[in-house]
Amino acid sequence: MVYDIQSRNDYLTGVSLVIRIPEDELDKKALYTIQADRPKFILPFHYRSIDGQVEFVYQIGTQSKLQYLSGTRSQREYSSLWSGMLSPLFQCGDWFMKPYSFVLSVEHLYYDKNQNTVCYIYIPTIKDCSQQSAIKEMAAEFSKHISVADADLENMVLRAIMRGFDPEDLLRVLDQYNNTRNTSMALWAVPKPATALLPGLFVPEQYDPEQYDSDQPYSDQPYSEKSYSKRPEIEYTDFGKIDTPEDISPAAGDIIINIPPKGKPAKKTKGIVIDWNDTTVKKDKKDKKEKKEKASKRQKSAGGLFGRRKEKKQDIVIDAVHEPKKRSRAPVVITESDFAATADTFGVTQSVPTKTSGTRLRLIGSALLPPVIEVVISDGEIFTIGRYDAVAGMKQSSFEFDIKTKAVSRRHAVIERNGEKYSIIDLASSAGTYLDGQKLPPNTPCEMENGRRVSFGNAGADYVWEE
């Protein structure tokens, strides 16, 4: 049995859902139990009796539709969402509830980001409001909205849905898969033996720096004193390697090179050796004396030792006073090609749309933001708007602002199309969504009209809706 679900929008209390059932179909035991101790996976509601019927009013509040939070998730988030969606079907018996009294439709699945819980609409009725096939249809539709970077995990879930879907088996398979992956990751984290750090590279377990030459690479053969014997010290200079024994004395006319100890730069001794056993006569002393004499003559000619020669002052004659010319400045027009270059400079994640007509949001705020947001969706489809998620590392929304865009949440708002009408919904964003300067209540559809101003947050992401 399918019950009619009506929606009410209120700018003060937000959106709410209303369901009415005959009073004689009410499951009083389940109703009293969940009123005394309401489980987290049930939307909060209140009820009243009207003319032989019971009216249930479900308050959406900060819970957003699960289909609005579509995108590619991590392995942990992906498994958590599936577990949050399927687990209530097995846990509801603790509250004397029946799984087929849930509204089994992705359109009426909600996500509470504060409690990280998937929430259902539950109708405490004796008769079933859903059929058994609705669970498989809901799971198949749910798989279209979320995906995971792990292709093996996603394919495994899709195969489980297509081949005789059993929610309990799917939860068991997900749990085994996650445990296997966590175990394998833990094995990778265990330190490996020193002999297996790199292929073909042998590292002894006990390394003694005095037994090995630092210039000699490790061998892939086991350690032996013969293979790792120390080589004689070899000194290098600016002229190359010296292979001559140390007891050879330099001859007259040889250039003296002072070879410092290891680790210190080599210093050259200026001059030419006249006699190895006699004092060294350096030629550069005479050159230094001549340079000092020339410098002294230049100083005297320049006005003495303490200053330069004073030049005669020239009279400055001002013929006329000229005012600076005023330059006419043409208005700066930012084109889409200019923005594309700016976008590349600032690392904007999305490209500039080439379409110039149709439904779109045109920028009237900060010039560094995308000038146009093209909203191309069919009837019944949604268009999500958010900010690039660096943690996910991939696109999560239909349109994403740059990661540095202030006041825009990772999942900020949704534009929904019903026939020829478009509505915008704020996804309980941190800075909020504004329509003509008025802050929208979260998760409440507000109709868009041509020329209305839409602001994502309060930091300059201001656009005008054009149809």
Backbone Cα Rg of the chain: 40
- Alpha-carbon span 404 to 384, nearest angstrom: 18
pLDDT at 284: 60
In contact, 147 and 141? CB cutoff 8 Å: no
In contact, 268 and 258? CB cutoff 8 Å: yes
- Alpha-carbon span 202 to 287, nearest angstrom: 59
Residues in the chain: 467
Domain boundaries, the chain: 1-190, 336-466
Per-residue pLDDT of the chain (467 residues), as tens digits, is 678 899 888 777 788 999 999 999 999 999 999 999 999 999 999 999 999 999 999 999 889 999 898 888 888 889 999 999 999 999 999 999 999 999 999 999 999 888 889 999 999 999 888 888 899 999 999 998 888 888 889 999 999 898 888 888 888 888 888 787 664 433 333 333 333 333 333 333 443 444 434 444 434 444 444 443 444 444 444 444 444 444 455 555 555 555 555 555 545 444 444 444 444 445 566 677 777 777 777 666 655 544 454 445 444 444 444 444 554 444 444 444 444 444 443 434 343 344 446 899 999 988 789 999 999 999 989 999 999 988 777 888 999 999 989 899 999 999 999 999 999 999 999 999 999 999 999 999 999 999 999 999 988 899 999 98
pLDDT at 336: 46
Q: Which of 390, 388, 408 is nearest to 348 (CA)?
A: 388
Q: pTM of this prediction?
A: 0.60
pLDDT at 318: 43
The continuous run of DSSP H or E covering 83 comes out as helix 75-86
- Alpha-carbon span 429 to 238, nearest angstrom: 67
- Alpha-carbon span 74 to 434, nearest angstrom: 31
- Contacts of 237-241 with CB under 8 Å at 24 or more apart are 237/266, 238/266, 238/268
Helix/strand/coil for 402: coil
pLDDT at 256: 54
- Alpha-carbon span 370 to 364, nearest angstrom: 10
- Alpha-carbon span 131 to 293, nearest angstrom: 111
- Give the DSSP per-residue string, 274-306: S-SSSPPPPTHHHHHHHHHHHHHHHHHHTTSTT
Could you please state the CATH topology (level 3) that the domain comprising 1-190 is classified under: Transferase(Phosphotransferase); domain 1 (1.10.510)
Q: Please, what is the end-to-end C-alpha distance for the chain in angstroms? A: 40
Q: What angle do CA 407, 413, 418 make, to 5 degrees?
A: 160
- Alpha-carbon span 171 to 436, nearest angstrom: 46
pLDDT at 258: 54
DSSP at 125 = B
Q: Which CATH class is domain 336-466?
A: mainly beta
